[in-house]
Amino acid sequence: MSPTQQDEAVTVGFIYPDHAAEDDYPYAEKLLSGTARLAVEHIYGTDLHAVAELLDLGSPARLAEGATQLAAHEPDAVVWACTSGSFVYGWDGAHEQVASLSAAAAGLPASSTSFAFVRAARALGVRTVAVAASYPDDVAELFVEFLGRGGVEVVGMSSADIVTAAEVGRLSTDEVVDLVVSRDRPDADALLVPDTAMRTLALLDPLEQRLGKPVLTANQVTVWEGLRLAGVTAAVPGLGTLFREKGD
């Protein structure tokens, strides 16, 4: 990136829980070729895919801590890069969560991965989806409810019953592909993969070619949502159908 590009590029800040697949973000930044900087800061809590722990992970105090860390990057927008730690609050609670995050980030535009999924589906005109969740069933069902509130119909949901984010982050490429492909439904317009702990960005184009439909994954839609909030809508090769279309 040249000095001029550095001056002109927007910065999007991401609050990422613990450590698992955060290397998806520098991967995306490289593909953006100077359009934006993607700054990642971490907050820490128990990484269990369980409701009580997820409510704690996404609490206002923890997200305010992340917003404080991101301030040093001078972001133009901030995103809570956690699906389960946002949809577990429900539709109304997730709106309150984002409003609290925006306030903690000095009024910057803010969002979360759960809202990113809904907006990405709308941007692509997707009406029906299948969900390939890594979570236990009770957590995955909350994502289905959230999507429904956003007007996205889930025609099939399957869960891999993986208890922690760390375990998801250790999945091999072949295991990720198997998990995703085996959970597609022919009546789904798109396939959704809702865990930011899963490395997926390098797999998007091959997965879409294999399935013949858009694949929306957590880190992909999170990056897209942050860019959208910051006013960046340029097409980006290598990140799936979502990045070949202009955002809404």
Q: What digits encode the pLDDT tens for the residues 18-77?
A: 999 999 999 999 999 999 999 999 999 877 788 889 999 999 999 999 999 999 999 999
pTM, entire model = 0.93
Give tens-digit pLDDT for 190-208: 999 999 999 999 999 999 9
The span from the CA of 195 to the CA of 217, in Å, is 7
* Whether 49 contacts 82, CB under 8 Å: no
Q: Structural domains in the chain?
A: 3-116+220-244 (3.40.50.12500), 124-217 (3.40.50.12500)
* Whether 221 contacts 234, CB under 8 Å: no
Torsion of CA 206, 12, 29, 204, to 10 degrees: 0
From the list 133, 154, 62, 169, the residue with the least C-alpha distance to 54 is 62
For the chain, what is the total number of helices (H) and then of strands (E)?
A: 12, 8
Mean pLDDT of the chain: 91
